[in-house]
Amino acid sequence: MNGQDEQDGRGRQERADAVDREMAARLLPDAAVRALGRWWETNAAAYADGTPGAHTVRYTPGRWAQITPWPGALAPTSAGGDAAVSRAEVASAVADALRREALQEALVATYVWGKGKRGTPGGSGPSTLHKILAFDGLDTALATAVTALRKHGAPQAYAALQGQVPGLGPAFFTKFLYFTGIALPPAHEPRPLILDRVLSRRLRSIAVAVGRESRHDVDGSVAAWVWSDSSWSAHRYQVYLSFMHAAANQLAEGNSWPSGTAPDLLECALFTTSWETSG
């Protein structure tokens, strides 16, 4: 990288940092707050405890027949038809697996839940997971991430897993970290949350509007860079966690949602909620 490239890189990062600061100050825009308020009105009964534990995903066990170890909390792969598993059930399965130091089993539970009905025989779900489980360094990578989470925190655990296991990207390893963080709270807040392409795009839409209004990123190029569809840095994950925890408080304080709302309930809502931005 030559001097001009380094200068351009620093300039882009400075603009990204400026947009991050503006987002942290403004949090969710009014349009998002209204949309999330409507989401809560529709889903309040299901999530009355303020957590997304009841969030249930359907999957087809038979499509994962090649996968071992298979968590006992999931329907047997010999079962016909579809099955359902909730976040609370996955959290319990992961906690049990971690007590037995069965890290691969914990990963399988979170991966199958995350893939849901998208897992097809021989398709990207089961075949990718099979390759992940066959990786020699998997146990070491997962153990290192769990240790980093317990001793340091979520961003450090994210950094410990990033790029370590072929085929296991952040959209799925943050699911592993999220459920692990429920069972084994990290040494330092905030707790890990799921970050995938859909959630990144929600944050990108906010960043685009903030960058335009603040003049730090008029064309949205910086927002597209930092809130890409994948390969987020550990720093970006930390920014995401800080924003989500503050935004959950924003919703509760503004009475759009009940007090004590968990940040992972906001993550769950954002996954299925979109809004139109002005301008």
pLDDT of residue 242: 98
Q: Is the pLDDT assigned to residue 115 strictly greater than 90?
A: yes
* Maximum separation of any 2 CA atoms in the chain, in Å: 61
pLDDT single digits (tens) 15-74: 999 999 999 999 999 999 999 999 999 999 999 999 999 999 999 999 999 999 999 999
pLDDT single digits (tens) 256-267: 898 888 999 999
Confidence of residue 11 (pLDDT cuts 50, 70, 90): confident
Spans of all domains in the chain: 13-43+196-272, 56-183
Q: Is the pLDDT assigned to residue 4 strictly greater than 90?
A: no
pLDDT of residue 8: 61
Lowest-pLDDT range, 127-141, 173-187, 247-261?
247-261
Asked whether 20 and 246 are in contact (CB, 8 A), the reply is no
Q: What is the mean pLDDT of residues 148-160?
A: 97
pLDDT of residue 255: 81
Q: Is the pLDDT assigned to residue 2 strictly greater than 80?
A: no
- DSSP of 136-159: TTHHHHHHHHHHHHHHT-HHHHHH
pLDDT of residue 274: 86
* CA distance linking residue 80 with residue 61, whole number of Å: 7
Q: What is the mean pLDDT of the chain?
A: 93
Please state, in angstroms and as integers, the Cα–Cα distance from residue 218 to each residue in 19, 54, 205, following that order. 11, 40, 13
- Tokens at 138, concatenated: 């998997």
* CA distance linking residue 73 with residue 109, whole number of Å: 8
Confidence of residue 124 (pLDDT cuts 50, 70, 90): low
pLDDT of residue 275: 87
pLDDT of residue 138: 98
Q: Is the pLDDT assigned to residue 6 strictly greater than 60?
A: no
Q: What are phi and psi of 98, to 5 degrees?
A: -65, -35
pLDDT of residue 122: 47
pLDDT of residue 279: 43
